[in-house]
Chain A
């Protein structure tokens, strides 16, 4: 029992040693991705960590059934995205996003006000995108993913990702460059 506790202190322990080690490797390499995907939806650090934790717990429960383990990141990204969307809808988090985003930063200089305004506008524009465009543009912006990687993460053809990315950027541009229709959020 002591050995087991010692082993646990070092990391993840589950049913089968080899599977555990593999999951632990996936956990380490994908934790930031899961967190950022959740953060892109929730814009709240603690909530994003909670959702990413839920996603990993769910992934752990179903890890054995994942036939192609190399698809783990893609699987996790979609799972986290879905859980984050669910969380967002369930708690009406979106109404509180402005204040949460404001709380999460620590303004120290006057120019941060302008930065925050810009960031607010950006997030509002992203939130206004349809979900299938939003996830593409978000994943493309996380860790500098290229079209090929986003396509792999979403299980979509590269051409589809390219066209969605193009459309998403066009809509963002329209949204952001039209301050009359879309005044900067305060």
Chain B
């Protein structure tokens, strides 16, 4: 830019300076925390290794099958007069080779699919309420509106109690523990707001972000149609 200082000498309209001033805006203090929460709520990117391995295995199997077909076609004519036609070996051999993998993968997929469930409208409402409370909480913290923070904490407390009951009903201990951490963080938040202790509020909010993220990362899945499911495994 320095090489163009002469070009930027615009008299009263020093564009560079003005634009630099206009763009000298800082994101809110909560911005980074919100980005982290958003990212934590993202479905985990799929690891490239297994995909690559399966793709390579598939391509290999296809290549073997193609080679077998070509070999058979060039070396031996198809049996045309058999009374009970059997699948030729060039078809069965590659299939037999990949069948165990295919069955294993299929079984694994079935297991996973059977271990998820769609959230009920009530659960969706709870999650929406949590998200709204988190957004409101950020604003209230900025405004130092301690009464409103107490109210947000009460909402979160109520929601975490529902979530705990949901997981208790599934008899899944790990997410029950997460929910209890949420209850504790909500209680800490309430106490911090009542004491007008900004540092403690910040600490409780950070804990809440982590707790929500931990649960979403582990127990929330997303289908190709972008809808969410609850994973009943960890």
Chain A interfacial positions (CB closer than 8 Å to B): 1-2, 4-16, 23, 27-28, 31-32, 35-36, 39-40, 45, 48-49, 52-53, 56-57, 60-65, 118-119, 122-123, 126, 137-138, 140-142, 144-147, 150, 162, 165-166, 169-170, 172-173, 176-177
Given the known interface contacts A31-B27, A39-B25, the answer about A140 and B1 at a Cβ–Cβ threshold of 8 Å is: yes
The B interface is mostly helix, strand or loop, or mixed, namely helix
| Range of interface residues on B (Cβ < 8 Å) | 35 or more
Report the 9 A-B pairs with minimum CB-CB distance, sorted nearest first: A9-B210, A8-B210, A141-B19, A5-B214, A35-B27, A176-B13, A1-B174, A8-B213, A141-B20
Q: Are B22 and A122 in contact (CB under 8 A)?
A: yes
Given the known interface contacts A2-B177, A9-B209, the answer about A60 and B39 at a Cβ–Cβ threshold of 8 Å is: yes
What are the residues of chain B within 8 A of A172 when measuring CB–CB? 10, 13, 15
Of all chain B residues, the one with the shortest Cβ separation from A148 is B1
How far apart sit A163 and B217, CA to CA, in the bound complex (Å)?
Answer: 47
What are the residues of chain A within 8 A of B181 when measuring CB–CB? 2, 5
B140 to chain A, nearest CB (A): 15
B51 to chain A, nearest CB (A): 11
Q: Are B214 and A1 in contact (CB under 8 A)?
A: yes
How far apart sit A1 and B90, CA to CA, in the bound complex (Å)?
Answer: 50
A140 to chain B, nearest CB (A): 5
Q: Are A15 and B47 in contact (CB under 8 A)?
A: yes
Which of B15, B20, B27 meets A49, CB within 8 Å?
B27
Q: Are B7 and A35 in contact (CB under 8 A)?
A: no
Which of A13, A14, A60, A165 meets B4, CB within 8 Å?
A165
Stretch at the interface among B28-36, B98-106, B115-123: B28-36
Of all chain A residues, the one with the shortest Cβ separation from B211 is A5
How far apart sit A48 and B25, CA to CA, in the bound complex (Å)?
Answer: 11
How far apart sit A61 and B3, CA to CA, in the bound complex (Å)?
Answer: 38
The A interface is mostly helix, strand or loop, or mixed, namely helix
Q: Are A162 and B4 in contact (CB under 8 A)?
A: yes
Q: Are B27 and A52 in contact (CB under 8 A)?
A: yes
Q: Are A49 and B211 in contact (CB under 8 A)?
A: no
Q: Are B45 and A60 in contact (CB under 8 A)?
A: yes
B40: interface (CB < 8 Å): yes
What are the residues of chain A within 8 A of B210 when measuring CB–CB? 5-10
Q: Are A169 and B28 in contact (CB under 8 A)?
A: no
What are the residues of chain A within 8 A of B4 when measuring CB–CB? 147, 162, 165-166, 169
Of all chain B residues, the one with the shortest Cβ separation from A13 is B40
Which of A14, A39, A49, A140 meets B45, CB within 8 Å?
A14
B151 to chain A, nearest CB (A): 22
B225: interface (CB < 8 Å): no
Q: Are B23 and A39 in contact (CB under 8 A)?
A: yes
How far apart sit A147 and B10, CA to CA, in the bound complex (Å)?
Answer: 19
Which of B3, B10, B174 meets A162, CB within 8 Å?
B3
A96 to chain B, nearest CB (A): 18
Of all chain A residues, the one with the shortest Cβ separation from B15 is A172
Which of B3, B39, B206 meets A12, CB within 8 Å?
B39
Given the known interface contacts A2-B177, A9-B211, A166-B4, the answer about A122 and B18 at a Cβ–Cβ threshold of 8 Å is: yes
What are the residues of chain B within 8 A of A35 when measuring CB–CB? 25-27, 31
Q: Are B39 and A57 in contact (CB under 8 A)?
A: yes
Of all chain A residues, the one with the shortest Cβ separation from B214 is A5
What are the residues of chain A within 8 A of B175 when measuring CB–CB? 1
Q: Are A49 and B214 in contact (CB under 8 A)?
A: no
A112 to chain B, nearest CB (A): 13
A31 to chain B, nearest CB (A): 6
Q: Are B13 and A123 in contact (CB under 8 A)?
A: no
